[in-house]
Structure 1
Amino acid sequence: MINEFQTIVHPTEGFYKEKGSKFLSFAYHVKTEDDIKAHLEALRKQYYDARHHCYAYIIGLKEQAYRANDDGEPNHSAGDPILGQIRSKELTNCMVVVVRYFGGTKLGVGGLISAYKIAAEDALNKVEVVKIYSQTRFSISFGYEQTSEVEGALAEFDVDYEDKVYTADCQFVGLLRDEDVPVLAEKVSLLKGVDFQVLQGSI
């Protein structure tokens, strides 16, 4: 299904050592740029004496954003192999950071690519993977006297509500799996005076 994706549940850690250099890897579930910055800042504070904090991430569902950062290592020798491991696991909303302590012996570009790949893989091999689904944002507007009818129609669906307004003119705003939208729209169309709209900002 095109709207089905995979992500990780809990943070995990991995480790790899090569010619004295230590590579500590950390996998996180992330959804926003703020999540990413928070994990990076925490790791940089905890491992302040490490030479490199290289990372990669993929976030988003239908529209995905990704980045790979070498943090001072030779171009494409760290971030890209980390990103490659996230992609090989077919994950999104996932970030992997690899912290390197230099061991005094240069590994060369090939050695670095291999080390960062193995370290990232070690953390990702320990993750618990769950399925997530892209969702469509919608609103339903109705009169207060129709509340029970509308709530009855919605009860059959797994809705993530963002807002519920109970006044003379009520409105619910929520997120619903893409494939459920036409089904709900059809049900709501049978209720007189109830307005169903698909909103921008689906995820």
Structure 2
Amino acid sequence: MNNSLYTIKNINNHQFEINKSIFIGRSFKIHSKKEANSRIKEINEEYNDATHNCWAFIQGIKKRSEKYEDDGEPSGTAGKPILNVLKKNKLTNTLIVVTRYYGGIKLGGGGLIRAYSKSAQEVINKSEIKKIVKNSKYKIIVPYDAFDKLENYISNNNIYILKKEFEKDIYLTILIPEESTNEFLMYYKNLVRNKYQPKYIKSVYI
């Protein structure tokens, strides 16, 4: 079973028309429920003349929070379909807002569900999607004469240097993809000849 999660990397929008109603979908990457609420407030203020600003978001990795809003549309015809599209695409840390300008022709419950689902999916299709990877955060010590070799290894193995401190030796804070952690630690210990031990800090999802 594939339990991978994904998120969007960029803000996007997509607009289309159904029976004279205009639907504008927007996608946002979020890092907290507070940020999601702030984005929703911005949209409500910017498009305060819209008939509806419906939305849904999922936030978190290990423990995920989800919320949706129909904003005056019949219950279950707007926010919930948007949320279902997020789930179908295995997205988290993502907010989608769909703005509707009513065109005078009712779409019915089924039509609304299809329209809001389509709007959410289309804006996701336009967004750059990124797999969320579990990383191990470590602090390591490197002698100056070994730094070039280590830096070359790091640059070729998707390892990120978060911080460099130049003292008697070089202190690095790094992020290692979980699947590469054991291999890196073996390489590092051989490089420094077990003179130093890596210090594990925590797991980070990015």
| Shorter-normalised TM range | 0.7 to 0.9
Specify whether residues 201 and 131 from structure 1 end up closer, same or farther in structure 2 by C-alpha distance, changes over 3 A only.
Answer: closer
Aligned pair count reads 201
Structure 2: how far apart are the matches of 1:66 and 1:17? 28
**Percent of aligned pairs with the same amino acid:** 28
Say which SS state the counterpart of residue 204 (structure 2) adopts: coil
Structure 2: how far apart are the matches of 1:126 and 1:148? 40
What does residue 126 of structure 1 align with?
Answer: 126
Match of 1:202 among 190, 200, 204: 204
Shift of 1:182: 0.8
What does residue 139 of structure 1 align with?
Answer: 139
What does residue 18 of structure 2 align with?
Answer: 17
What does residue 172 of structure 2 align with?
Answer: 172
Say which SS state the counterpart of residue 115 (structure 2) adopts: helix
Shift of 1:147: 4.2
**Runs of 4+ that moved beyond 6 A:** none
Shift of 1:179: 0.6
Amino acid at match of 2:199: Q
Shift of 1:69: 2.6
Say which SS state the counterpart of residue 49 (structure 1) adopts: coil
Structure 2: how far apart are the matches of 1:195 and 1:122? 49
The unaligned stretches of length 5 or more in structure 1 are none
Aligned partners of 1:61 and 1:134 also within 8 Å: no
What does the per-residue CA deviation read over 1:147-166, in whole Å, with 9 as the maximum and x for residues that have no partner? 45654553442222222211
Amino acid at match of 2:117: K
What does the per-residue CA deviation read over 1:69-104, in whole Å, with 9 as the maximum and x for residues that have no partner? 323434432211012122223334432110122345
Aligned Cα RMSD in Å? 3.2
TM-score by length of 2: 0.76
The yes-or-no answer on 1:32 pairing with 2:19 is no
Specify whether residues 141 and 63 from structure 1 end up closer, same or farther in structure 2 by C-alpha distance, changes over 3 A only.
Answer: farther
Specify whether residues 156 and 105 from structure 1 end up closer, same or farther in structure 2 by C-alpha distance, changes over 3 A only.
Answer: closer
Say which SS state the counterpart of residue 90 (structure 2) adopts: coil
Structure 2: how far apart are the matches of 1:143 and 1:50? 61
Say which SS state the counterpart of residue 120 (structure 1) adopts: helix
Specify whether residues 2 and 141 from structure 1 end up closer, same or farther in structure 2 by C-alpha distance, changes over 3 A only.
Answer: farther
Structure 2: how far apart are the matches of 1:25 and 1:69? 14
Specify whether residues 112 and 3 from structure 1 end up closer, same or farther in structure 2 by C-alpha distance, changes over 3 A only.
Answer: closer
Aligned partners of 1:5 and 1:92 also within 8 Å: yes
Say which SS state the counterpart of residue 173 (structure 1) adopts: strand
The yes-or-no answer on 1:78 pairing with 2:78 is yes
What does residue 159 of structure 2 align with?
Answer: 159
Aligned partners of 2:14 and 2:119 also within 8 Å: no
Structure 2: how far apart are the matches of 1:123 and 1:145? 50
Specify whether residues 155 and 123 from structure 1 end up closer, same or farther in structure 2 by C-alpha distance, changes over 3 A only.
Answer: closer
TM-score by length of 1: 0.77
